[in-house]
Amino acid sequence: MNITHIEHIGIAVSDLTEAIAYYEGVLGLKCYNIEEVADQKVKTAFFMVGQTKIELLESTDPEGPIGTFIEKKGPGIHHMAFAVKGIEGALAEAADKGVRLIDKTPRKGAEGLHIAFLHPKSTMSVLTELCEDKSK
């Protein structure tokens, strides 16, 4: 597949306000967007670091994917997202090579990206997201 860079790193946090205060106050980064993604049951906050983003994820529902992650493992790094060219082709190639797909076809993520997740059982235990900005 054609990966161009790390698009973002997703970090599960229990309190978005407290986490933003750390990223801004200590690391000196600037939160440029806060967005609720209803079908993922999360509220997200974004920071730019070079061409890579940090995506903070606060659960809006204890039954949602971030809610259950924090319940099981506590807050921390949740997933890594690669920017790819041709996400459909990348998914087909991964499936071809025996990777278990969480999303067989891309869906809409935050910031209008087309996203799809690969199962951590197939990715050295790192939940991996592929994403493509089709507006570029």
Name the nearest CA neighbour of 49 among 12, 87, 11. Answer: 11
Helix residue ranges per DSSP H, 1-136: 16-25, 65-73, 87-96
Residues in 6-35 at the binding interface with Zn ion, rule: CB under 5 A: 10
CB of 92 to Zn ion, least distance (A): 21
| SS3 state of residue 16 | helix
CB of 30 to Zn ion, least distance (A): 19
Q: Nearer Cβ to Zn ion, position 20 or 127? A: 127
Name the nearest CA neighbour of 19 among 54, 51, 65, 61. Answer: 54
Binding flags for Zn ion, 62-91, as an x/- string (CB under 5 A): -------------------x----------
Site residues (vs Zn ion, CB under 5 A): 10, 81, 129
